[in-house]
């Protein structure tokens, strides 16, 4: 089985979100007269993509139980009780 630990998936989704937010802020600062520019649009799409990635990929690699909403990320699955690889 591949190393699909929830910690790794959470880190990837946070990286996508931070890149999207950075692009959106840069795009908003470059926008003139309340127009949407390409950088702002790409940043907004990256933020939405990061959220979708987080909601779909934060699950147990063994049973598929969703781990969205668990803070902090558990060390084992609350449903099947198998430990996650680091």
Cα–Cα distance, 37 to 23 (Å, whole number): 11
Q: Residue 14 corresponds to which tokens in the numbers above?
A: 């946070």
Cα–Cα distance, 6 to 83 (Å, whole number): 11
Of 86 and 39, the structure prediction assigns the larger pLDDT to 39
Reported as a single tens digit per residue, the pLDDT across 1-39 is: 456 788 888 899 999 999 999 999 998 888 777 777 888
For 57-61, the CB contacts below 8 A with 24+ separation are 57/9, 57/12, 57/13, 58/6, 58/9, 58/10, 58/13, 59/6, 60/6, 60/84, 61/1, 61/2, 61/4, 61/5, 61/6
What residue ranges do the domains of the chain occupy? 1-85
- What's the whole-model pTM score? 0.80
Average per-residue pLDDT in the chain? 87
**pLDDT recorded at residue 3:** 64
């Amino acid at each position: 089985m591949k190393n699909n630990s929830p910690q790794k998936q959470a880190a990837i989704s946070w990286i996508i979100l931070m890149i999207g937010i950075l692009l959106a802020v840069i795009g908003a600062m470059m926008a003139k007269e309340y127009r949407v520019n390409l950088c702002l649009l790409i940043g907004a799409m990256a933020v939405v993509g990061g959220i979708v990635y987080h909601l779909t990929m934060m699950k147990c690699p063994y049973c598929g139980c969703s781990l969205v909403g668990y803070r902090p990320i558990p060390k084992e699955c609350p449903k099947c009780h198998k430990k996650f690889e680091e």
